[in-house]
Amino acid sequence: MKTVIHVNQHHIKHNRKHPDSTKPVLTVKTYKSNDYTDEVSINGPSKVVYSPLKPLSCGATVWIECDSEDVIIHARKETDI
């Protein structure tokens, strides 16, 4: 199963303006879920894609593609939310 990871620019901008209520900046997408986090480990083959003419449906033009079995999503600590 393919996994796509991208950085949410809107959350980065929000976090700069509101450092006391940060939002997770990484989106990890599969065909069955969208997970949001600040840290992801990729244990296996992956590739970085830049596609300005064919962005993702969310508008991202740069992302990482990998096999979902090779991705570990690190949960945010309660103090980070």
Q: Which domain holds residue 47?
A: 2-80
How many structural domains comprise the chain?
Answer: 1
Place of tokens 């244990």: 43
CA distances to 17, 18, 30, 38, 71 from 34, rounded to whole Å, are 25, 23, 7, 13, 13
DSSP state of 57: T
Give pLDDT tens digits for 20-71: 888 999 999 999 999 999 999 999 999 999 999 999 998 999 999 999 888 9
**pLDDT tens figures, 4-27:** 999 999 999 999 999 888 899 999
